[in-house]
Structure 1
Amino acid sequence: MTSDLRVLLRLSGFRRLMGVRLLSQFADGLFQAGLAAYVVFSPEEQTSSADIAAAMAVLLLPYSLLGPFAGVLLDRLRRRQVLLHGSLLRGGMAGVTSALVLAGTPHWMFYLCALLVTAVNRFVLAALSASLPRVVDADRLLMANALSPTAGTLAATTGAGTAFVAQFVAGSQGGRDATALLLAALVYVLAGLAALSMNRSLLGPPEGAPTPRLGTALADTARGLAAGLRHLGARPRASWTLGALAVTRFCYGALFVTLLMLARFSWTDGGEEDGMALLGLAVAVSGAGFFVAALLTPAAAARLGALRWFSACALLAAVLVPVLGLGFRVVPGLIAAFVLGLVSQGTKIVTDTVLQSSIDDAFRGRVFSLYDMLFNIAFVAAAGLAALVLPHDGRSAALVIAVAALYAATAVTAHRLHAGAVSRETETAPGLSPERPTTP
């Protein structure tokens, strides 16, 4: 593995493509943190949970709904040019968004610009993934696929942290709100210029490659998604596990909005700096939970069985969310953020494994596209629910108890799925491991 990594880093095309990814996702982190700071923490804005829900919809829905169709255009355009012009366009729109913040324009104009940035972002991320086989040989593609998204996520996290720091040192209030957005605009432009270091034809698609008509390709994509949905529906273990994950994602989203409102209005005296500092700390603690889940899940799933570990994670949240959350205090809230990070990532790893082992290879890409859409839509739906029920200060015992009940129901569902899988395997092939991949 180490030798493969060294070889990857010696490939000039891979290094240059990675440079574009790191700059692009670093700018994504800056932009998203700037958006959060303006929507949630600006003293001039009487932020509500509805504002937060709208911001989440802007950030996530374009990514979810456009994702499966991005490849249709990427097979028609030079991917190097998509990276170049997409990054420059995002830079321009992020700059306009920054100017709108400074000018105090109506919210709909701000959201329209943010929507354009995130919609273009979907195509840039897809182009980065589609370009990877053009700069890495087949033997090292798996390593490259593991390294690139992980490095990009770290870059985005670093960008978000940089945004919080930059906002603290900025001068006036208006300048503070716009600082991260302006920095994002500059880094997007750098990402576009970095794409110029690659030859125009390096990333494909091949010159003269046959492509169907655009309308036909879009219709084929829609039909493919429908076929993937039917294939998933015929596999109860996979579909129920994916549904259970959507519920846990919904719970995470509702509690995330609660955390934002608490950090803004309950845990401080309303000061923007203190609220952003607490939010940054909560995000870091939740990220630590994600990391711990990545370390624990392989061993725990091997020992207990994947679905039983899913059940254990959901049960842990069902017990600890009300214990830690109903007091609405800072330290228990931060501990809850760690637990939720662990539960969210642990259940996602299990779901990835169940889908990979249950779905036929010919349908796997389409099913994972549906998975991606459901994952983000559940988060946005949770924010919408929170907008309806959360009071201004974020203190809602009813919401915390309802989320705990959903986690408990999910734990029961996952346990029954595990028991059913064990029963079927015992009947058909005694002696097999309960978690051996099967097709329901």
Structure 2
Amino acid sequence: MTAVVDEKQKVLARQLLTLREFRRLLYLRFSSQWADGLFQTGLAGAVIFNPERGADPLTIATGFATLLLPYSVVGPFAGALLDRWDRRKVLVVASLLRAVLILFATIGLLAGLPSGPLFLISLLVLGATRFMGSGLSAALPHLVPERTLVQANAIAVTLGSVVAVVGGGCAIGLRKIFGEDDFGSGITTSFAIVGTLLAVVFALRYERGRLGPDQVDEPSGTVVAVARGLIDGAKAAWNAPRVIAGFVALLAHRASQGIALLMAVLLMRYYFTDYGWLKAGLTGLGEIAAFAGAGIFIAGVITPKLVERFGRHKVIVGSLLVVAAGMAGLGLPMVLPTMLGAAFLLFGAGQVIKLCVDAVIQADIGDESIGRVFSLYDTLLNVMQVASIAVAAAIVPANGYSHGLIVATIVLYLLGVVGYLLASRRDHATHVV
């Protein structure tokens, strides 16, 4: 049975990769996410691991908020506009704007701007990035058959996440070449402009209207459309029980992930020391990113097989339980090697859940609302992650060492299982998904 499923998934993946427009979407996503990974890691290095600057838990939490809040603030605008405007045009304009803003961030770093103005510029950069992410997700159903959405997401989202990790690794390498001070950080972040401009080139190769929307269910005024984006997205999601259940599972995951990320940065900055060939500091964060990327990649390979064999419902529940067990067994020892293993499971299982929920949204939500639902989805998840980071920052020790917070992540995953099962009761067909 397993061999049959494996062969079926391989054939499906090969068929998807023969679709020229799907491949083009991959190239667009890869160039954009490489730039995103490089910029975010360059910013983290500039503010947190820069010998010319200090970083306490509050500063680090502010940095995370800078990276995540644009996904929440811009989300409602992105959703309404992606369901109203030609998505190809949105992708092109957002990429060009992001390239200009990255240039400003580079100049700010070279000039030695304080962290506050840098965070503000970064908010704008990542706001433009939000349009890219929502646009790519909303465009995918226009390029592949519905029956292949899980596999297409597994390929696009997973490999895109791995490419983002590669971009982060490039940033670490470039900092080694150009230096870890403000000047070196500025030169490093400037390379993100290359990937952003490549995304423009790939987006322009689509015909106008090819990425949707096919239908427009919007009021005549753009301001009104934007203002009601979250409400419309919430209504569409509420009428799709499987989508609401998926939201619950991912909210629990993002809350736990936020706590774990803050602790990882503090531990690498102030507590861990080199452990054999494993390194602490920014290089240690690169190692965490590498293990997380490996988990994400493997998740992309196995998720379609797991869904085919066990059904989406059992896969989501099982993933929540696996990562809860992983945080107990690998997170609680609080030593560098086991933390890397915890990162592998946390990001891998989280990616399995995300791929399942993405496919549910794309299958259960109409094209006239899908952009708004994806934006609502991103908004809720990132607000939850920022909130969990803020709460953790208020109580975490300065060096990040806290068994209590690890236990909190485990409890959140278990609550996620309970919440998902309760939310799933609205869908009487869940057990056959």
CA spacing shift, 1:372–1:199, aligned 2, 3 Å: closer
Tell me the amino acid that sits aligned with residue 405 of structure 1. Answer: V
Per-residue deviation at 1:251? 0.8
| Partner residue, 1:292 | 298
Deviations 1:141-190 (A, max 9, x none): 96877655455434323222211111122246333322321111343344
Percent identity over the alignment is 35
The secondary structure found in structure 2 opposite 1:392 is: coil
Q: Paired residue for 2:77, among 69, 72, 90?
A: 69
Per-residue deviation at 1:361? 5.0
- Alpha-carbon RMSD across the aligned residues, in angstroms, is 4.0
Per-residue deviation at 1:61? 2.1
| Partner residue, 1:262 | 267
Within 5 Å, which residues of 2 pair with 1:3-22?
A: 4-5=15-16, 7-9=18-20, 19-22=27-30
| Partner residue, 1:376 | 382
| Partner residue, 2:404 | 398
Tell me the amino acid that sits aligned with residue 113 of structure 2. Answer: T
Per-residue deviation at 1:327? 3.2
Per-residue deviation at 1:244? 3.5
Tell me the amino acid that sits aligned with residue 335 of structure 1. Answer: G
Q: Paired residue for 2:113, among 85, 105, 119?
A: 105
Q: Which moved more, 1:125-134 or 1:98-107?
A: 125-134
The secondary structure found in structure 2 opposite 1:41 is: coil
Contact kept, 8 Å, 1:4 with 1:140, in 2: the verdict is no
Q: TM-score, normalised by structure 2?
A: 0.78
Per-residue deviation at 1:35? 1.4
CA spacing shift, 1:227–1:415, aligned 2, 3 Å: closer
Contact kept, 8 Å, 1:49 with 1:383, in 2: the verdict is no
Tell me the amino acid that sits aligned with residue 283 of structure 1. Answer: A
Deviations 1:322-348 (A, max 9, x none): 443333211111121122123323343
Within 5 Å, which residues of 2 pair with 1:77-156?
A: 82-128=90-136, 148-156=156-164
Q: Paired residue for 1:182, among 179, 190, 211?
A: 190
In the alignment, the residues of structure 2 paired with residue 141 and residue 298 of structure 1 have an alpha-carbon distance, to the nearest angstrom, of 10
| Partner residue, 1:165 | 173
Runs of at least 5 residues in structure 1 that lack an aligned partner in the other structure? 426-432
Deviations 1:343-392 (A, max 9, x none): 323343454567678x5758973544433322222222121122111111
Tell me the amino acid that sits aligned with residue 379 of structure 1. Answer: Q
- Structure number with larger C-alpha Rg: 1
Runs of at least 5 residues in structure 2 that lack an aligned partner in the other structure? 1-11
| Partner residue, 2:345 | 339
Within 5 Å, which residues of 2 pair with 1:42-61?
A: 42-61=50-69
CA spacing shift, 1:415–1:276, aligned 2, 3 Å: same
Q: Paired residue for 1:314, among 313, 320, 339?
A: 320
The secondary structure found in structure 2 opposite 1:252 is: helix
| Partner residue, 2:255 | 250
CA spacing shift, 1:375–1:74, aligned 2, 3 Å: closer
Contact kept, 8 Å, 1:356 with 1:364, in 2: the verdict is no
Q: TM-score, normalised by structure 1?
A: 0.77
CA spacing shift, 1:139–1:179, aligned 2, 3 Å: same
CA spacing shift, 1:223–1:326, aligned 2, 3 Å: closer
The secondary structure found in structure 1 opposite 2:256 is: helix
Within 5 Å, which residues of 2 pair with 1:420-431?
A: none
Q: Which moved more, 1:253-262 or 1:172-181?
A: 172-181
Contact kept, 8 Å, 1:307 with 1:417, in 2: the verdict is no
Q: Which moved more, 1:125-134 or 1:309-318?
A: 125-134
Higher RCO (C-alpha under 8 Å, 6+ residues apart): 2
Q: Which moved more, 1:86-95 or 1:73-82?
A: 73-82
In the alignment, the residues of structure 2 paired with residue 201 and residue 249 of structure 1 have an alpha-carbon distance, to the nearest angstrom, of 34
Per-residue deviation at 1:117? 0.8
In the alignment, the residues of structure 2 paired with residue 39 and residue 111 of structure 1 have an alpha-carbon distance, to the nearest angstrom, of 9
Tell me the amino acid that sits aligned with residue 381 of structure 2. Answer: F
Q: Which moved more, 1:286-295 or 1:71-80?
A: 71-80
CA spacing shift, 1:38–1:351, aligned 2, 3 Å: same
